[in-house]
Structures are given as structure tokens and as C-alpha cells.
Amino acid sequence: MSSLATTSQLSSSLTERRLPRWMPAVNLALAVLLAVAIGAGFNLSSKPQWLLIAAILYVVIQYVTSAVVEGRRHAKNYVATSLVWVAFLLALLPLISVLWMTISKGIGVINANFLTHSMNGVAINQEGGGLYHALIGTLEQVAIASLLAAPIGILTAVYLVEYGRGNKLSKAVSFFVDVMTGVPSIVAGLFILSFWIIILNMPFTGFAGALALAILMLPVVVRSTEEMLKLVPNELREASLALGVPKWLTITRVVLPTALGGIVTGVMLAVARIVGETAPILMLVFGADTINMDPFNNPQSSLPLFVWTEYSRGTDQSQARAWGGALVLIAVVMILNLVARGIARWKAPKGATR
């Protein structure tokens, strides 16, 4: 046996045979070609179907070539990789479609008139009208809800981080904050309905809706504030306490200002969540086509409720307005999110270790 033969034998047993790097691309092209052929051949009209066939074909072809050349383990790896990619692309499709539909259908409706007029006196099959009344309603209800939920939420978080420290009450609060995050918005609405409207016999107003929104907002504020307070370095607290500053001043003058950016971010993300809530508004604020500046008397409207009412009126004109309302709503939510995350990036507690 010559040494040359040994080395070649060794190298072939040490490195497995691999597919060339260009192989997946070739297989993909092959799969697409086949899919187009099948789609055209069987006269399949829907394009998503072609895409689906191409995806399946690609996975199959890739598996077979890899199994032949590299063995089943690597073939499985390829399939897993492809499936992960497919999952990713599959999920992008509807999400892009939602955004695209909203923007393309909504942009045609939005103009100065749409933003500054109410639906007062606009017939359902008539063009025009606007969502000014809904904007006012949303702003007021969300502002009231934030004024109610933000202080309670921040104080609760302060309790959890600064005072509770794992005692029974704080564990219970912490658990129920988590559970409260999952309370469906319609249940929060029903609670306010039974308590505020049926038992206390209050009228349907923007304030009633704001109460329900506050319940939905509370756990989000608590959770995000808690996270931020945990990030405040302990040295700051110790230094302040060592200077003889009482604990409550340490919290209000040292801990909270340090975490302020994060807290503001959390509150804004919570606001972004409740801006889009429809169900409690539908039940508690009841909706109106006219401008009502007073959240404590008479029904109001709000952006998501506007979308819902215009959709359920069912005419082409009103559905166009619904898309317009949806676009404004998405814009508001996205702006809130982006600003909140911008603040989070600027004001993140520096030197925090996590």
C-alpha cells in the first residue's frame, strides 16, 4: 500500500461529500421553473398556488439531491433550513398585504377635509365626511385612561421593585399583573358595563370607555416600569441612602428620574396598545357621528370605532372611509411606537448591567 493511496483514502473518509454551494440556487430555479410549468399547464389561476407549489418542489428537490450526495442527516438539515425560510416568507406575505391594502386604499380618502370634518349629516352612500369627531374622542379617552393608569401603574411597579421584594403580596400582585395582561378587552368592557353603567346607572360616555382602557393599560405600564426600575444600578440607591436621604426621596429624586426614559417609553407603548381597542369603546362610548368635545356627557366616537361603524354600514363610500380611518389609526399607533422606541434608545440607563 503506497502512502499516496493512504492519504487519499484518509481525506475521503475525514471530509464528507458536500453539495457545491451553488446547488440550492440551481434547485430553486428548477423548482420555480417546474412550478410555472405546472401552474401554466393545469391553468391554475391563483398566483399564491404557484408559489406554494414552487416552495414544496424546492424542498423536495433539495432533500433528494442532498440525500444522494451528502446523506440523510444533511438532507434533513436542508429541509429544516428551507422550512424555516418558508415560515418566514409565509408570515411576511399577509403582514405586507395588510399594510399594503391599508395604505393603498386609505391614502385616496385622506385629505384635509377628511381630517377636519365629522360624519354629521353625511349619508352612508355619500362621499366626504371625516373622522375629526373620532380623533377628538380617541385623544380624550386615551388621555383620561393614561392619567388614571400611569400613576397607579408606576406606583405599583415601585412597590414591586423597591418595597415588595418577594413578599407574598408582591408575588400575588406580580402574578396578577401577568394574568391581567391577558384579560380580553371585551371582558374589561363588560366589567365597566356591569359596574359603572348597570349598577351605578351612569350614561354611555367617553369616560366610561376610558375606565375600561385604563384597566387594559395598567398591566402594560406596571410590567415595563418594573423592568426599567430593575435596570437602575443599585449603587445609585445606596449612595443616596448613605447620604441620609429618606427612601421615598431616593425613589422620587434618584431612581425614577434615572429610569424616566424607560418609563415614558413603557407608557407610550401602553398607549399605543389601547389606541386600537375597539370592543370596550363599542360597548361603553356607544359611538356618535357628531363632534362631542365633552368626554363626561353623551356618547363620543373613536378611531377604531369609526372604522368599525363605517365598515358595518356596508356601502362602497363608507368602506372607503373605513380604510381611511384604518390608515390614520395605523399611522397613530406606529408614530407612538417609533417615538417611544426612540426615547428608549436615547434615555436608556447608562452603565446598567443586566
Which of positions 181-200 make contact with another protein (CB under 8 A)?
A: 181-188, 190-191, 193-195, 198-199
Sites for another protein among residues 84-143 (CB under 8 A): 84-88, 90-91, 94-95, 97-99, 101-102
Backbone φ and ψ for 97, nearest 5 degrees, come out as -60, -40
Q: What's the CA gap between 129 and 349, in Å, rounded?
A: 46
Q: Does 152 sit near another protein (CB under 8 A)?
A: yes
Q: Which of 60, 122, 330, 343 binds another protein (CB under 8 A)?
A: 330
Q: What's the CA gap between 78 and 127, in Å, rounded?
A: 54
Least distance in angstroms from the C-beta of 117 to another protein: 21
Q: Which of 6, 12, 81, 116 binds another protein (CB under 8 A)?
A: 81
Least distance in angstroms from the C-beta of 1 to another protein: 28
Sites for another protein among residues 15-54 (CB under 8 A): 45-46
Give the x/- contact pattern for another protein in 196-225, rule: CB under 8 A: --xx---------------x--xx--x---
Q: Does 309 sit near another protein (CB under 8 A)?
A: no
Q: Does 333 sit near another protein (CB under 8 A)?
A: yes
Helix spans in 42-183 (H): 47-69, 72-107, 112-116, 132-158, 168-181
Q: Which of 20, 41, 166, 351 binds another protein (CB under 8 A)?
A: 166
Q: Does 298 sit near another protein (CB under 8 A)?
A: no
| Residue from 81, 78, 80 nearest 63 by CA | 78
Backbone φ and ψ for 300, nearest 5 degrees, come out as -125, -170
Q: How far, CA to CA in Å, does 24 sit from each of 63, 65, 84, 164, 257?
A: 10, 9, 15, 56, 54
Q: Is 286 helix (H, G, I), strand (E, B) or coil?
A: strand
Q: Does 238 sit near another protein (CB under 8 A)?
A: yes
Q: Which residues, 6+ apart, have CB-to-CB distance to 163 below 8 Å?
A: 170
